[in-house]
Structure 1
Amino acid sequence: MRKLLVLGGGTAGTMVVNKLRRRLPSSDWEITIVDRDDEHRYQPGYLFLPFGTYTADQVVRKRHVFIPDGVELVLGEIDRVDAETNTVLLEGGRSLTYDYLVIASGTTPRPGQTPGMLGEQWRRTVFDFYSFEGATALAEALRSFDHGRLVVHITEMPIKCPVAPLEFAFLADAWLRERGIRDRVELVYVTPLSGAFTQPIASAQLGEMLEERKILVEADFMVERVDNEHRALVSYDERSVPFDLLVTIPLNMGADFVARSGLGDELNYVPVDRRTLRSTKHDNVFAVGDASNIPASKAGSVAHFSVEIFVANFLQLIRGLPMTGAFDGHANCFVESGDGKGLLIDFNYDTQPLPGRYPLPLVGPLSLLKETRANHLGKLAFRWIYWNVLLPGRPIPLPALMSMAGKVVPADSHAAGAPGATTEQE
């Protein structure tokens, strides 16, 4: 009996066991998945909790509901991986052996890594929304916030869903206008990046949207500490950004057991081949979803598309064949922009977000890098798709690899490796 062990029952890990349980004979394969608790949380929903769009029961379900028959769910904290003996040790002394290991332990915010962030103002005037507890606490704080300086801040990249801080700023602007108090609140967006986003075309578009909404931008800001006494962010170059209410995205890091096991980089992400997701140190270890160090967005779409490639490759590997699939870093993200509209961006390792139509040329029905009602509805519809299609590992009719179909390449752009006249690729 061969053993597949998956560490982490979040988005990527749950998809892996659902897809592989159907493909691996139960008479030949034992599949086990490990997580600390039985709570599966829809993390994209955290964005909507502070504004009352979603309620807590809409973003939390029992983890075991999504684990298929024939897969053992083990609840417990992981102490470390002994990759030399193919063994995972849990806190309390239990050990699990494996033939193949998939690390899908994700990434989490670490406010304690920034001096002062977990100080006396934590969840009083300093909040995050990258955790369930933080998002629900922020919802309470916003209800009594009616004037002052609201600062949205990114500590450092990479973070889960890199567009989420922008979405929060846009939604805050719309929410304040709906309440009739926007003119009493100064909105500031503080980022370590040189602009609104990491990619030039999207950064320019999103930067214009911030400017239109009179959201001030403090760029190239590397935070050194949170000054709780004066309620200010302080950068390494001694700039100060005061706040009345701070919504921060703390440093994101991978699981601590990855570090204890000697499998991670300085942020506890597992170094892997970016095409196959195979560990650079151990041939029978893979990392999927946010747990790996691939240079792609840490987003649900990346987990989805990369797991598709991983599953096909894994089935080849166990038959003694070369792995022929190569993940291209494909990501697409809805960007809520307020007022019942949103954008959609679609990109990969080599191609930045471009305007156009998705997923079909000309007909879409979704628009790329353009605010539309359809994109907003697509963002809301994804919650149903997540619970009912994505997690159970059912097919979604979208290509795992990014396509240039429907994308418009600006004449002066080399973003898609296709310089020249503006054309719509069909």
Structure 2
Amino acid sequence: MKELVILGGGTAGTMVANKLVRRLNRHGWRVTVVDRDNRHVYQPGLLFVPFGDAEPARLVRPRVQQLDRGVRFISGGIERVNTEESTVSLDWGLALPYDQLVIATGTSPRPSEVPGMDGPLWQESVFDFYTLDGATALRDRLATFEEGRLVVHVTDLPIKCPVAPLEFTFLVDAWLRHRGLRDRVELVYVTPLPGAFTKPVASERLGHLLEERGILVEPDFLVEHVDNDARMLVSYDEREVPFDLLVTVPLNMGADFVARSGLGDELNHVPVDRHTFLAKGYDDIFAIGDANDIPTSKAGSVAHFSVDVFVDNFLDHIAGRPMTRSFDGHANCFVESGDGKAMLIDFNYDVEPLPGSFPVPGIGPLRLLEETHTNHLGKKAFEWVYWHVLLPGHPIPLPAHLSMAGKHRVPAGSPPSEKQEA
């Protein structure tokens, strides 16, 4: 019997396992998922935890319950992949042989990579919300925060869900307003990018949102260290951003075993062909989801669309046929903007976010690059879709590749009212 080993039981790994176990010959292949624990976290829900809009316990379910009964689950830390022997070594001594390996161990925040970030102020005045513990600790601190300087900060890219820091900024602005505290809090958004929105069309249509809300933007800020005594972010060019409360997105890195195995780049992401996800230099290793280095968002939608492409390619690959399907970098993301509204962006490697309707041209019901309550409802409803449709591997009636139907091409420099049907 041949062995398909999937490292990581998060979104991408679970989807791959559930889809492939139904399509592989069960007498010819065994599908095994390996993860360090049995806790599957619904990560999009972490954004709402600091504001009391999501109960932390509700966001966690056993990994094994999300897997098809035909999938074997093994719990353990991954020490390394021995590519010469085609084995995976676990921290409790087991060596798993593989015929094909899928790395889906994602990426995670590393506050220790920035000097001082995880110092004495960590989870006292410095918080992240990309982990369950961090989001919960931030919820408790926000409950007592009534005035001062609140700084939302991104260390560097790539990060999981790159719009999440902006979403948090909009949500905390609304949260403070609803409590009558906004005039007592200076809100600052600090980014390593040239601005909050960097794609031309999105910047033209959405850039005003921060200014209208009185949110200051500190662009092109590459943090060198966090000064705990002075309560400041300090950049490499010696700019200083003081804070009373810092909500940061630390450097995101892939799993450490990737580095130990000689499979990763400087951030422990696996270099792959961006269309097929086959690891460069290997014929028996793929990397899916946030674990690879493809140049698009590290978002759940990318995992969804890429897995749809990957599964058919993988079946061709193990049958000795060419992989003819090609992933185009398709991603779409809801962007919460506060007050029960959200925006939606839909793009790929070559097409920037454009205005229009989604998924049905002219009908929607979702609107691209617009704030609507319907978009917000779409984001909130996705939690049910995630647990009951997406993870189990059931088909979702959305194309894996970007569709231009319903999108409006915008001539350079044109006002928002001008558009051309794609």
TM bracket (short chain): over 0.9
- Residue matched to 1:270: 270
Asked if the contact 2:201/2:410 (under 8 Å) is kept, the reply is no
- Paired AA for residue 219 in structure 1: P
Aligned pairs for 1:383-402 (under 5 A) are 383-402=383-402
How many Å separate the matches in 2 of 1:163 and 1:201? Answer: 16
1:69 offset after TM fit, Å?
Answer: 1.1
The residue matched to 2:207 in structure 1 has which SS?
helix
Q: What is the RMSD computed on CA atoms of the aligned residues?
A: 1.1
**Are 1:56 and 2:53 matched, yes or no?**
no
- Paired AA for residue 420 in structure 2: T
How many Å separate the matches in 2 of 1:206 and 1:267? Answer: 31
How many Å separate the matches in 1 of 2:120 and 2:401? Answer: 46
| Higher mean C-alpha displacement, 314-323 vs 263-272 | 314-323
**Are 1:118 and 2:115 matched, yes or no?**
no
1:362 offset after TM fit, Å?
Answer: 0.4
The residue matched to 2:205 in structure 1 has which SS?
helix
Asked if the contact 2:234/2:241 (under 8 Å) is kept, the reply is yes
Cα displacement string for residues 99-137 of structure 1 (whole angstroms, at most 9, x for unaligned residues): 000000000000000000011100000000011100000
**Are 1:284 and 2:281 matched, yes or no?**
no
The residue matched to 1:101 in structure 2 has which SS?
strand
- Paired AA for residue 50 in structure 1: P
How many Å separate the matches in 2 of 1:413 and 1:220? Answer: 24
Asked if the contact 1:196/1:206 (under 8 Å) is kept, the reply is no
- Residue matched to 1:325: 325
| Higher mean C-alpha displacement, 111-120 vs 313-322 | 313-322
- Residue matched to 1:417: none
Aligned pairs for 1:21-420 (under 5 A) are 21-412=21-412
Gaps of 5+ in 1: 415-420
- Paired AA for residue 128 in structure 1: D
Gaps of 5+ in 2: none
How many Å separate the matches in 2 of 1:284 and 1:191? Answer: 38
How many Å separate the matches in 1 of 2:107 and 2:220? Answer: 24
Asked if the contact 1:196/1:204 (under 8 Å) is kept, the reply is no
% identity of equivalent residues: 65
1:269 offset after TM fit, Å?
Answer: 0.2
Query: What TM-score comes out, normalization by structure 2 length?
Result: 0.98
Asked if the contact 1:345/1:353 (under 8 Å) is kept, the reply is yes
- Residue matched to 2:421: 424
**Is the alpha carbon distance of 1:278 and 1:34 closer, same or farther for their aligned partners in structure 2, counting shifts above 3 Å?**
same
The residue matched to 1:54 in structure 2 has which SS?
coil
The residue matched to 1:48 in structure 2 has which SS?
helix
The residue matched to 1:336 in structure 2 has which SS?
strand
**Are 1:18 and 2:15 matched, yes or no?**
no
- Paired AA for residue 399 in structure 2: P
Asked if the contact 1:354/1:369 (under 8 Å) is kept, the reply is yes
How many Å separate the matches in 2 of 1:11 and 1:318? Answer: 23
| Higher mean C-alpha displacement, 355-364 vs 135-144 | 355-364
1:319 offset after TM fit, Å?
Answer: 1.7
Asked if the contact 1:151/1:243 (under 8 Å) is kept, the reply is yes
Query: What TM-score comes out, normalization by structure 1 length?
Result: 0.97
1:413 offset after TM fit, Å?
Answer: 7.3
Q: Which runs of 4+ in 1 moved over 2 A?
A: 203-207
- Paired AA for residue 31 in structure 1: V
- Paired AA for residue 38 in structure 1: N
1:202 offset after TM fit, Å?
Answer: 1.6
Count of residue pairs the alignment pairs up:
419
